[in-house]
Chains A and B, each alone.
Chain A
Amino acid sequence: MSHSEDGLRPEEFSEAAEAAIQDALSRAAEDLPGTLAAAGLLGVCATQADGGLGLDLDFAVPLAQASGRLRLRFALAEQMLLARHLAGTAFAAPLAQGQTLATIAWQGQRDDGWVGHARRAQDARWLLVRHVQGAVLLDVLNAPQKTETTLDPENPQTWLDVRQCPVLAELGADATAALWREGAVLMAATAHGAADAALTAAATHTATRVQFDRPLSARQAVRHWLSRMKLYHEAGGAAIARALERNEWGSPREPLPALMLNLQYATFIIEKAIHLHGGMGFTWEVPLHHALREVRKIDAAWGGGGLPQSVGQRFIQTCKG
């Protein structure tokens, strides 16, 4: 983990960020971007010239975790990344300051026509989408939209026809690869945060819910489920921390294994948390279903079951003499 110039550590920044997100969640939806921006969250990794804090990616990780933990309905990771990677353009400052909302289509190419798998695309004015070897930032104000509400009726997946959208900026192949690498880390962190909240909720509920004269978590079967959830949560967090560090040759580490683990483990933890809540877990009274829907959407955006195969193929390739 790094420090900022004034000695601030990511975990310390995280506490303030969590409070800021709590504050934003208590306000009207239209005030949310401004509140997050005022707390420095949207521009945490943007340059100071763009109104950001100029901090490293490891400062964005706890923010993404907090957004997952608090079920923030805002594409925080994407906004932070775009404000960082569009540095030097006219688009970074409005993103860092929360004046314009943007998101990223993690799958699909501009030439595909319809692209999706972009969180909160329905709220975004700008959309980054892959194009040829790099990516383009599009103005999607007038793009035709289709929404898919089956998985998440309150926060649906949105598809946009981007064929006629004006191009605002372009990113080269290397810049796009770097953005996608960091995106994988922040999506892993978002899922990890969602799992954290689910684990805490399950541990709290089973410690207080008395059945057959004992708290549920006094039963070995329940204790072992919770321990396994904790195990996977710790392993996922450790993988994220590792993905942030450079390898011994100074190169960035491959983040897809960390993303793969965290999507699998977050799904497992949230599903088990729902199970351990019994009938209540199956209802809208307990917010676990929101977390499950969000993690499933991130998983879909990054290829669903295709991630392990992609990671496996890359490893096999590295073994070829």
Chain B
Amino acid sequence: MPTETNLPAGRENYRSYARTWLSAHLPQHMRADSLDYRSPTLEESRQWEAAMYKAGLAGMTWPTAYGGHGLSLREHLAVNKEIGALSMPESVSSIGKELAGPIIMTVGTEAQKQAFLPAILNMENYWCQGFSEPDAGSDLARLRTRAVPQGDGWCINGQKIWTSGAAKAHYCLLLTRTGTVADKHRGMLMFAVPMNTPGIRVVPIKSIDGKESFAEVFFDNVLVPDEARLGAPDEGWSAAVRVLSIERATNRMYRAWRFESELGFLVRACQSDAQLAHLLDDGHYQRRIGQVVGEIDGLKGLVERTVSQLMQGDEIGARGSLTKLYWSECHQAFAGLAQSIVSQVTPASSPLAQRAQQAFTQAYLFSRAETIYAGTSEVQLDLIAQRILRLPRE
């Protein structure tokens, strides 16, 4: 449990507290809109996130018994608004905090909860997500990685791909099947697999932005004890669906507010430079910026509505698809706009404009992934058609 400070009560108090603490403690070199910015090391990121946890700004909704604060989604949202308002680095442990943690809380044993959950929050362990496979990207029912009972445990063989953070992860949230592909959604089994288990091989993949943020992960006769199993056999698919619905609806709740922060940075960078400032007087760019402002408003509204519905006890269902699809398409379009603006930066441009050029060129390249990961736009459209509009298939 965090002990650094007495945490405030009430949503607005929490937001004010978060704003004050974050702006006082976020190192200048971690702010993407700062002239002092440099890409933080893994250890710097770990220390920063551990400090946030100690300050009461992570694990908001997790039970106190597992290191959380036992608060509601409202406080979680309040903190996320302030996290989004600052140009801070993405979490290096988002898979653990936003996917593995919630699923362990849902299907894990008491021993698993005690072992894994506090370690996620205090940044002792990072997780990766072993779902996608070469033949099972959007369609997880086609996954082939097999788990076969062996002795008191399981023997796992197969291959995962597009596994974010695999090279640094301590554990993998691994989805396998016990039968054959013909079983489709039946017979799926989920594990918490230590990444240092013999037989696991990680091969980094170079992505469009020049980074190696994801990887192929090979499992060759990987032996794990039965204690590594998350949930009962056949519970894997429903657990995966639950994870994915959480991922789409509640993960990175700060994104709308970060989006606004990015837009503000772009405009300020233009205002800092005589040549780029002219663009802001151009009706074309004014309209494009106005469009983005409206979309940010719509996105914030979708997020706040989701929290409100969850607070009333409603199921998330497929509504997360609306938020994911809207954010990814709007943000991708914004990244294209930002890149076209910063492409006009020269060595004579203002220092802030040059910082913006680096940041938004990277953001543009990475944004190409946004309509692919966590379910492509086409998958989201299918989900909306099927589960929200309930359109007939035949």
Does any Cβ of A come within 8 Å of B378's Cβ? yes
Choose among B294, B392, B393 the residue that contacts A239 (Cβ–Cβ < 8 A): B294
The stretch from A69-77, A152-160, A174-182, A308-316 touching chain B is A308-316
Nearest-CB residue, chain A, relative to B11: A248
- A315, B289: Cβ atoms under 8 Å? yes
Question: In the complex, which residues 276-321 of chain A have their Cβ closer than 8 Å to any Cβ of chain B?
Answer: 305, 307-316, 319-321
Q: A179 to chain B: closest CB distance in Å?
A: 21
- A223, B271: Cβ atoms under 8 Å? no
CA distance A313 to B388 in the complex (A): 36
Contact A231-B287, Cβ < 8 Å, known A226-B391, A248-B12, A311-B293: no
Does any Cβ of A come within 8 Å of B336's Cβ? no
Choose among A224, A236, A315, A321 the residue that contacts B293 (Cβ–Cβ < 8 A): A315
Interface secondary structure of B, over-half rule: helix
- B322, A315: Cβ atoms under 8 Å? no
Q: A181 to chain B: closest CB distance in Å?
A: 14
Does any Cβ of A come within 8 Å of B259's Cβ? no
CA distance A308 to B296 in the complex (A): 13
Does any Cβ of B come within 8 Å of A169's Cβ? no
Does any Cβ of B come within 8 Å of A235's Cβ? yes
Per-residue contact bits, chain A 181-223, to B (CB 8 Å; 1 contact, 0 not):
0000000000000000000000100110000001101101001
Question: In the complex, which residues 221-240 of chain A have their Cβ closer than 8 Å to any Cβ of chain B?
Answer: 223-224, 226-228, 230-231, 234-240
Contacts of A236 in B (CB 8 A): 298
For this complex, into which size category does the number of interface residues on chain A fall? 35 or more
- A315, B290: Cβ atoms under 8 Å? yes
Interface secondary structure of A, over-half rule: helix
- B297, A239: Cβ atoms under 8 Å? yes
Contacts of A33 in B (CB 8 A): none
Contacts of B263 in A (CB 8 A): 315
- B392, A215: Cβ atoms under 8 Å? yes
- Besides A218-B394, A248-B15, 13 more A-B contacts (Cβ < 8 Å) are A203-B389, A217-B391, A224-B385, A231-B326, A235-B302, A241-B301, A241-B305, A261-B294, A309-B286, A310-B290, A312-B286, A315-B290, A319-B268
Binding site for B on A (CB under 8 A): 203, 206-207, 214-215, 217-218, 220, 223-224, 226-228, 230-231, 234-243, 248, 257-258, 260-261, 264, 305, 307-316, 319-321
Give 5 nearest A-B pairs by CB, closest first: A238-B301, A312-B290, A311-B290, A308-B290, A235-B298
Sampled A-B contacts (30; CB under 8 Å) = A203-B391, A214-B394, A217-B391, A217-B392, A218-B392, A224-B378, A224-B385, A226-B389, A227-B385, A230-B384, A235-B301, A235-B326, A236-B298, A237-B301, A239-B301, A240-B301, A241-B301, A242-B300, A243-B297, A248-B15, A258-B294, A261-B294, A261-B295, A305-B287, A308-B291, A312-B285, A313-B286, A315-B289, A316-B280, A319-B271
